[in-house]
């Protein structure tokens, strides 16, 4: 300090850089304006965070549904995985067996068989009682034919062959429709303009080769032109392809946009922890709303399907099978939201949160002291890790979140597994910190196994 100068800087008590000293009245006015500006800034941040949060919450159910539809429609493997259980469902198998049995029995004219038998007996001079009995065989014959046909159809429908055929036919049909909707030019079924065409080139090649092998040499001259057959033309094909492109964009980017809006809401809010808690609870509430909406849609669907078209048991199996991945994803997000909300609360100043954190610290401290008395000491790597506990905690939590993000369609069980692993690692870190606190840096504790 220069001799003779004031111990208070020239701008002390006033706005920075002005070089002026404020009197008490000016200082009070300055503090009032500064407080008002701070309040306006915080209010603006709250308002912006609220708008972002509302947008994220409103988009959350739509994002989940869009992602599910996108996966089911645009991914053949996912679609086959969705419909595959229907081939093993008893209610669906019963419907298929009944329909196939009726179709086969209708091809057998039991009445004509009974009439022919009656005519043969009458022409052969059989007694009238025998002829009359043959005329009454229509009902028993129909029952016998139906029983035999049903037994054989049921044996096929409940076999592994039916399940394999079901999956293969669904895979081929979905792949063909997907190529048509996306405008791909390879495959048997393709779209050209407003026409849906079937490529029969492979069939032409096989017919030409077989004819030549059978001695029709002139069949080799069959031209390669007209290798496609137009199945139908429709003006809606272009709209369907446009809808497929829109679904591809929405199903991919709407979930990303929703997560980004939620993250911006947490970042913009003055209280990040409180906003994270509110965002998690709001997301959980929207997942509950989506589950309720699925239950309502299920009830409406079952009420509108005629029993003659599809029995209630089969209709229930079809609906539940088709939406099970959507329901599983919704439940998973609900569990993740509740876990996030719990973590945000436990990180705060609430009495329960403080009590739980205190209990955990005491337990970890007791474990660390016990290990220290047992002669356990930590090495330099463990000591550095203990010195950076907050960084280690953040890395562990981030690794758990990344594992869920990279997990292909995580379920509630997967979330529970990751949560248990994260808690176990965090407990190990807490005990490591306690061991470091109980062990002097010089390593004066009794010799024992080292914790790396």
What is the structure's pLDDT at 50? Answer: 92
Record the tokens describing residue 440, joined without a space. Answer: 């002097």
Give the model's confidence band at 212: pLDDT under 50 very low, under 70 low, under 90 confident, else very high. low
What is the pTM for the complete model shown? 0.73
Distance CA 287, CA 282 (A): 9
Record the tokens describing residue 128, joined without a space. Answer: 């009238």
Inter-helix orientation angle 312-322/90-106, to 10°:
130
What is the structure's pLDDT at 233? Answer: 54
Average pLDDT value over all residues in the chain: 76
Q: pLDDT over 90 for what percent of the chain? A: 20
What is the structure's pLDDT at 340? Answer: 93
Give the model's confidence band at 79: pLDDT under 50 very low, under 70 low, under 90 confident, else very high. confident
Quick check: helix, strand or coil at residue 265?
Answer: helix
Give the model's confidence band at 293: pLDDT under 50 very low, under 70 low, under 90 confident, else very high. very high
**Between 97 and 117, residue with greater pLDDT:** 97
**Between 38 and 339, residue with greater pLDDT:** 339
Count CB neighbours of 14 within 10 A.
17
What is the structure's pLDDT at 187? Answer: 53
What is the structure's pLDDT at 448? Answer: 44
Distance CA 200, CA 176 (A): 14
What is the structure's pLDDT at 11? Answer: 44
Give tens-digit pLDDT for 429-451: 888 888 877 665 554 444 444 44
Give tens-digit pLDDT for 43-69: 888 888 999 999 999 999 999 998 888
What is the structure's pLDDT at 4? Answer: 44
Distance CA 321, CA 72 (A): 12
Average pLDDT on 270-291 reads: 93
């Amino acid at each position: 300090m220069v001799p003779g100068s004031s111990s208070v800087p020239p701008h002390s008590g006033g706005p920075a850089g002005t070089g002026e000293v404020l009197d008490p009245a000016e200082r009070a006015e300055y503090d009032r304006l500064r407080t008002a500006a701070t309040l306006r800034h915080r209010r603006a941040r709250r308002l912006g965070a609220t708008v972002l949060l509302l947008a994220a919450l409103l988009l959350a159910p739509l994002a989940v549904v869009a992602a599910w539809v996108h996966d089911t429609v645009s991914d053949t493997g996912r679609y086959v995985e969705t419909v595959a259980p229907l081939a093993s469902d008893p209610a669906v198998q019963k419907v298929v067996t009944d329909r196939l049995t009726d179709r086969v029995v209708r091809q057998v004219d039991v009445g004509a068989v009974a009439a022919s038998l009656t005519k043969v007996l009458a022409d052969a001079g059989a007694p009238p009682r025998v002829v009359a009995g043959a005329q009454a065989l229509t009902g028993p014959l129909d029952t016998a034919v139906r029983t035999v046909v049903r037994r054989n159809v049921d044996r096929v429908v409940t076999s592994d062959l039916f399940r394999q055929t079901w999956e293969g036919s669904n895979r081929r049909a979905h792949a063909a429709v997907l190529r048509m909707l996306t405008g791909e030019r390879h495959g048997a079924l393709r779209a050209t303009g407003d026409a849906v065409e079937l490529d029969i080139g492979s069939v032409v090649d096989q017919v030409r080769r077989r004819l030549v092998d059978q001695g029709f040499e002139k069949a080799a001259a069959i031209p390669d032109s007209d290798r496609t057959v137009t199945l139908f033309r429709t003006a809606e094909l272009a709209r369907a392809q446009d809808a497929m492109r829109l679904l591809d964009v929405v199903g991919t980017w709407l979930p990303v946009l929703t997560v980004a809006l939620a993250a911006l809401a947490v970042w913009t809010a003055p209280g990040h922890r409180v906003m994270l808690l509110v965002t998690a609870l709001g997301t959980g509430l929207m997942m509950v709303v989506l589950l309720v909406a699925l239950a309502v849609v299920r009830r409406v669907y079952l009420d509108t399907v005629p029993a003659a078209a599809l029995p209630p048991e089969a209709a229930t199996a079809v609906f539940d099978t088709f939406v099970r991945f959507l329901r599983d994803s919704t439940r998973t997000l609900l569990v993740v939201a509740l876990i996030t909300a719990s973590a945000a609360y436990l990180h705060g100043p609430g009495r329960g949160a403080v009590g739980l954190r205190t209990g955990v610290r005491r337990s970890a401290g007791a474990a660390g002291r016990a290990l220290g008395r047992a002669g356990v000491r930590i090495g330099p790597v463990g000591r550095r890790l203990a010195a950076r506990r907050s960084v280690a905690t953040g890395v562990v939590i981030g690794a758990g979140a990344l594992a869920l993000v990279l997990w292909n369609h995580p379920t509630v069980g997967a979330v529970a597994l990751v949560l248990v692993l994260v808690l176990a690692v965090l407990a190990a870190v807490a005990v490591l910190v306690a061991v470091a606190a109980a062990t002097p840096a010089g390593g004066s504790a009794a010799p024992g196994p080292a914790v790396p």
